[in-house]
Amino acid sequence: PRLCKQQSLLLLVLSLLLLPESAAPFTASTEHVTMSGKALRLTSPFLAPTTTTAALVVLNTPIPAPHDSPVFDKLWHATRYRICADGGANRLHDHNAKLIPDCVCGDLDSLRQDVRELYTTHGVSIELDPCQDANDLDKSLTRVFGASPLDAVYVYGAFGGRFDQEMAAFQALYAWCDAEKQQQEESDAAVLYLYNEETCAVLIPPNRKCEVSLPFYGGQQTEDNPTSAIPSLAVGEGPTCGLIPLAMKCETIVTDGLQWDLDGTVPMEFGGLVSTSNRMMKPVVTIEVSHPIIFTAEIIRRTV
């Protein structure tokens, strides 16, 4: 016999309750955001002191000439472990042959022979992973996260190339976000950041107060000279920024410190509200979300 509406609704509720944990990597309230405890600090590498607990992944996209790549230069010197994702080794070599990575990883179908030979003479680990069910970025991140505890992992070259490869970089933000650890008050999960010379992005995890610190903030128009947390700094992130609900609807988002703050009353989703061309008005912006979203910011250069 056909089930009545009440029985069908009961079965639907029970099926949702019995879903395995693996089917719901992000658990979040759909009604409100409740935050407590220690905030997750997402700090620009241009503000953070040079750390020995960060890693850099170089992707197969062009790196500008040494005199025109301040973001890459900063990330290289701010990290202690550097890995090239397959053809990223060619890009690093062509940018500056004196820079030697720790590892080259991937299916190695793009690695040039001259680059392989040079890096081999310098003791670089060349690691072949022929699996075609994962891309070279994922293979490199597997190597990076398995090496040692880290505070941050920077991926350089995530933007500006093929659209599908850009989407693969965003997929990595979700796939490698340890949401459970990042929701804990004493999180030791490494934060993954995407970069090129013009922009950056990071995942804001759900159910955790996040504090985003960027070097540039303030000003009302893009042509205004914004305030800097470090007056002598010529390059860095901000002030223009955005909040993008890329993978799913975000029911609740509350911010403080943006030119157009969000108060949690309007969900964020494609086809509805998406916060683009927003602006950091404070050196630290707080963001609280019910579901994961992407925070992105421009990178500017100025004369000091």
pLDDT digits (tens, 9 = 90+) for 206-229: 999 999 999 999 975 545 667 887
The pLDDT of residue 21 is 40
Q: Mean pLDDT throughout 87-91?
A: 96
For the cut 70, the answer to whether the pLDDT of residue 263 exceeds it is yes
CB 149 within 8 A of CB 117: no
Bigger pLDDT: 82 or 17? 82
Q: Which residue has the tokens 């602006």?
A: 279
Over residues 231-253, the pLDDT tens digits come to 788 899 999 999 999 989 999 99
Question: Cα(280)–Cα(214) distance, rounded to whole angstroms?
Answer: 8
Q: Mean pLDDT throughout 54-64?
A: 95
Closest C-alpha to 258, from 238, 242, 280: 280
The pLDDT of residue 227 is 80
The pLDDT of residue 14 is 37
The pLDDT of residue 174 is 92
Q: Mean pLDDT throughout 280-287?
A: 95
Query: What's the one-letter identity of residue 247?
Result: A
Kindly write down the DSSP assignment for every residue of the chain, as one continuous string.
Answer: -PPPHHHHHHHHHHHHHT--GGG-SS---SS-----SSPEEEE-TTTSPP-SSEEEEE-SS----GGG-HHHHHHHHT-SEEEEETTHHHHHHHH-TT---SEEEE--SS--HHHHHHHHHTT-EEEE---SSS-HHHHHHHHHHTTS--SEEEEES-SSS-HHHHHHHHHHHHHT--HHHHTSTT--PPEEEEE-SSEEEEEE-TTS-EEEE-SEE--SSTTS--EESSTT--EEEEEEEEEE--SS-BS-EEEESBTT--BSSS-B-TTSB-EEEEEB-SSEEEEEESS-EEEEEEEEE---
The pLDDT of residue 34 is 47
Q: What is the mean pLDDT of the chain?
A: 83
Q: What is the pTM of this model?
A: 0.83
The pLDDT of residue 7 is 40
For the cut 50, the answer to whether the pLDDT of residue 16 exceeds it is no
For the cut 80, the answer to whether the pLDDT of residue 274 exceeds it is yes
